[in-house]
Amino acid sequence: MPELPEVETVKETLKRQILKNRIIDVKINYPKTIEFPTVEEFKKQIKNQKIVDIKRRGKWLMFELEDYYLLSHLRMEGKYNIKPTDTIQNKHEHVIFVLDNKFELRYQDTRKFGKMHLIKKEEVYDRLPLSELGLEPNDENLTVSYLKEKYKNKNLPIKTVLLDQQIIVGIGNIYADEILFLSKINPLKKSKTLTNKQLQLIIDNTKIVLEKAIKAGGTTIRSYTSSEGVHGLFQHELLVHGKEGEPCKDCDETIVKIKVGGRGTYYCKKCQK
DNA sequence: AGTGCGACCCGAACGC
DNA sequence: TGCGTTCGGGTCGCAC
């Protein structure tokens, strides 16, 4: 389940592997992965493009090519494998980028939820999916007044708005629980009723949780070998998420699980009033 | 406009 | 080699 830290780790790993390689062909085994443009246009346009750089915006991986950006969202289970051309394809490798060095970059996604876009470089930030994204967690413009403005017309629980990628990018279901636990805020609390102090705590803890997870992703990533996938691991220490029935790390109260906006939500009733 | 929910997927976990 | 059902995760599209 890649969230921002996992995407960051994948980005760094791939940069060490495939920069400067040229895509000489692409095979698309599951066409619905390609969201834009059409599969035929996608194939035609990406052919013979060199991979110049790899970036990230929110949870989107951005392969910078010569004329295009290839945007790739891993959703829950997307990962990239780099394998020699003659390696048998496994059944979950849906998009195969044939490189000019006898290797292939293969997008593997068991759940088939991941999406790709191929967009002209000059347009990439001005059109979907990147145009609507909110601030990166480490953006200096992420302030209490920014959140106040964004939250003022919403009547939703803070847990729900933390997942809104149009406000802050990169927070997924797991990290949202962790951020609220550290901030001692009830996930059901309406976001527009939060105090300045609580909003500042959310900002601080968002940065802390995501940066810590990026570091953990960097240290636990499996190194690439020909038979192994390149993918982010999610192995850092979680405080509340998934801990239903276990004692709170702070007060020993039993962690409970509820649904907020349809999403499994874990919290401590005593610490997060 | 904001809000809620089903759809998209399939492996794992669960219930019997 | 048990089998059918439920769940979850991020995002979008649709209905209200």
Kindly report, residue by residue over A124-135, the tens digit of the pLDDT.
999 999 999 999
| pLDDT of amino acid A217 | 65
- Supply the residues of A annotated as catalytic: 2-3, 59, 263
pLDDT band at A262 (very low <50, low <70, confident <90, very high): confident
Q: Mean of the pLDDT values across residues A2-18?
A: 86
Lowest-confidence pick of A20-24, A69-73, A106-110, A212-216:
A212-216
pLDDT confidence bin for A221, thresholds 50/70/90: very low
A259 touches strand B (CB under 7 A): no
d(CA A89, CA A24) in angstroms, rounded, equals: 18
Check whether residue A223 has its CB closer than 7 Å to nucleic acid strand B: no
Is residue A136 within 8 Å of A146, Cβ to Cβ? no
pLDDT value, residue A212? 82
Q: How far apart are CA A84 and CA A103, in angstroms?
A: 4
Report which of residues A210 and A148 the model is more confident about: A148
Contacts of A248 by beta carbon, 8 Å cutoff, 6+ apart: A240, A254, A255, A268, A270, A271
Protein CB footprint (7 Å) on chain B nucleotides:
1-6, 8-11
Give ∠ CA A54-A9-A208 in degrees, rounded to 5. 120
Cβ-7 Å neighbors of strand C? A 1, 3, 58-59, 73, 75-76, 111, 113, 128-129, 163, 165, 172-174, 263-264
The reply to whether A110 has its C-beta less than 7 Å from any atom of strand B is yes
pLDDT recorded at residue A224: 29
Ramachandran region of residue A218, left (φ > 0), alpha (ψ -120 to 50) or beta?
alpha
Place of tokens 């699980």: A257
Q: Contact, A46 vs A259, CB < 8 A? A: no
The whole-number pLDDT of residue A1 equals: 53
A113 touches strand B (CB under 7 A): yes
Banded model confidence at residue A219, pLDDT cuts 50, 70, 90: very low
d(CA A122, CA A68): 8
Q: Residue A64: pLDDT band by 50, 70, 90 thresholds?
A: very high
A135, A142 Cβ separation under 8 angstroms: yes
Q: Which domains does chain A have, with CATH numbers?
A: 4-123 (3.20.190.10), 144-267 (1.10.8.50)
Confidence band (pLDDT; 50, 70, 90) for A223? Answer: very low
Backbone angles phi, psi at A115, to 5 degrees: -135, 150
Residue from A13, A169, A153 nearest A82 by CA: A13
How far apart, in Å, are the Cα atoms of A46 and each of A34, A43, A128, A262?
Answer: 12, 6, 19, 38
3-state secondary structure of A239: coil
Q: If you average pLDDT over residues A99-121, what whole number do you get?
A: 94
Whole-structure pTM value: 0.90
Residue A28 in this model has a pLDDT that exceeds 60: yes
As to burial, measured by CB atoms within 10 angstroms (0-12 exposed, 13-18 middle, 19+ buried), residue A132 is exposed
| Average pLDDT score over residue span A117-125 | 95
**How much is the mean pLDDT over chain A?**
88
Do A243 and A266 touch, CB atoms closer than 8 A?
A: yes
Mean pLDDT for A184-188 is 95
